[in-house]
Amino acid sequence: MATTATPSPPRRWVVSHSQLAVAMASLLFIVLSQVRGLHLFNGDDTDGFFSQIKYVSILLATGKLNILAEPVLGVHFLRFAIVSPWYFSWLQGMPSWFEAVLMAPVLLTVATARFHGRIHLIQLVVFLLPFALSYRTVLVIVGIANLYIYLFSDNRRGWQFYVSAAMSFLSSGVALAWFMIVLMNLQAVKKMRIGLYMSLALGFAGLVAAVKNKLGFFGSGTADYAKGTGLSAALERNTILVSYMVNDKMRFFLYIGILALVVWFLVALNSLGRPARPLMWFFSAAAVAFLFEGLGAIAFLMPVLWCLAGCAVLPETGPAEPEPA
């Protein structure tokens, strides 16, 4: 007599506490962004980044964008393409919550990363950063964070590599750091194939732009230096040498302090021996990028927090091979 197979119960979708916390943090971020009136752009023409984006927008509107005649415009155009959703939202006078909705998926790439099979609550810090730093700074932080996720997490995905390349490109110093890290980890990223070579080309272009900008500064004296106010301005603009040249002692010693912390962190990682060597090389790029601009160090904020919390799947532990994008 034939027996009838008992149907298996329907599979239930279970939401973990960490996933619920991430969802609540996302909604709270959107609400508080409206309360605080956060925007990526504020129309300040003295902001060099805004001036770049506005200039490219005008050239596109008038049909005068000629990258072949002025190659550095290619760098500015790529930056424009990356932040264009926020730029056009600002032009249309969209409310802060709308820009926050655009920002939330970007932040979720960091907040939902898994290390050793789980989401760590320390990742929710990324939702607080826009209230202390500028949106641009946060986007750059997300870029380096995604590169760390791609190299040292246990749920590596190809799209993380591309997100890291795009967001890191918003800062010349951080583009240099990204370029260095990828070169030091070619074995880990070689499966990206065409994407790797395209990203390396963009990273090299960012490096050229960084050198060009800094040489342009030294050729024009201190005309391009703006003191600015607030933590974000102090971290984003110029370098240790520049602040020394213009006798800005407070910013100079702030930079010295940050650089000392970076060096101490590298020494601490090196003392852990061979297993931590990949992390040491990763963070060594921060010290070099910091010589170009303060943002070069603050961009490593999330990887530092992850590292201190033990969130790193090192090569010796056998991380999973990255899935194709």
> Would you say residue 97 lies in a domain?
yes
Q: What is the pLDDT along the chain (325 residues), one digit of tens a residue?
A: 555 555 555 555 445 777 888 899 999 999 999 999 999 988 777 777 888 889 889 988 888 887 777 767 778 888 899 999 999 999 999 999 999 999 999 999 999 998 888 888 889 999 999 998 889 999 999 999 999 999 888 878 888 888 998 898 888 788 888 888 888 877 666 666 556 566 666 656 655 655 565 545 444 444 444 444 445 554 555 566 667 777 777 777 777 777 787 788 788 777 777 777 788 888 888 877 777 666 777 888 899 888 888 887 765 544 444 445 4
> Would you say residue 52 lies in a domain?
yes
Q: How many domains does the chain divide into?
A: 1
> Would you say residue 22 lies in a domain?
yes
> Would you say residue 7 lies in a domain?
no
> Would you say residue 2 lies in a domain?
no
Predicted pLDDT of residue 209? 56
> Would you say residue 232 lies in a domain?
yes
- The CA–CA distances, whole Å, from 241 to 49, 219, 238 equal 21, 14, 8
> Would you say residue 10 lies in a domain?
no
> 136-146 in b/e burial notation, b at 16+ Cβ within 10 A?
bbbbbbbbbbb
> Would you say residue 238 lies in a domain?
yes
In angstroms, rounded to a whole number, what is the distance separating the alpha carbons of residues 158 and 322? Answer: 6
Contact criterion met (CB below 8 Å) for 258 and 150: no
Three-state secondary structure call for residue 118: strand
> 167-182 in b/e burial notation, b at 16+ Cβ within 10 A?
bbbbbbbbbbbbbbbb
| Helix runs in the chain, H state only | 17-36, 48-62, 72-91, 96-111, 135-152, 158-168, 172-184, 186-189, 194-219, 230-236, 240-245, 249-271, 277-290, 295-298, 301-308
Quote the domain boundaries for residue 161. 18-317
The full 3-state SS of 63-94, as one line of letters, equals CCCCCCCCCHHHHHHHHHHHHHHHHHHHHCCC
Contact criterion met (CB below 8 Å) for 234 and 248: no
Predicted pLDDT of residue 311? 81
